[in-house]
Amino acid sequence: MANFNLDSYETVEQRHARALEAYPDLRCVLINHTTENDRAQAMWVVEARVYMNAEDQAAYLPKATEWAFEVDGVGMANKTSALENACTSALGRALRWAFAGSKGPSREEMQKVARASKPVIPPADLDTQLAQIPDTIELQKFYESGLALGWMNEQARALFTARKNELKGA
């Protein structure tokens, strides 16, 4: 279990509001850098750029830049909103670096730490799911998904190997 209080961290929304109050012409740009290879691994990659005003943006002089990635399905929110979470993480970090008064990691980042401290286990019906996979190409995709999601343990690998052998023998 994580050893910190989430209430002691500001949200990205609070950090953004504070920055806008201090710099009303603040510009925050989010860029989706996700490649086809990233998507094949169920991943989203985002860059955030923070500009103090329109002139800095036009001259491409960001006060701060930062990156983040998220994996589809890892954690409850990423079942539907992994791209949005990557955007929020990148923006929160960029705002942190742009403004020295920021309070370290955002609450959203610390929530990820809390989630990561919980063990991820393979699906309970993994053997049933594997039995429904028709070929080794789909099996490899599912295997890589398990790796990306962090539940590929020794027992799961044994089930994948058994299914791979079945498919090769068919």
Query: HSE of 159 in the Cβ direction (CA atoms, 13 Å)?
Result: 22
| Res. 118 pLDDT band, cuts 50 70 90 | low
pLDDT value at residue 1: 44
Cα Rg for the chain, rounded, in angstroms?
20
* Residue pair 122/155 in contact by the 8 Å Cβ criterion: yes
Q: Please tell me the pTM assigned to this model.
A: 0.60
pLDDT 10s digits, 11-68: 888 889 989 999 999 999 999 999 999 898 899 999 999 999 999 999 999 999 999 9
pLDDT 10s digits, 56-83: 999 999 999 999 998 888 766 777 888 9
Residue type, 64: A
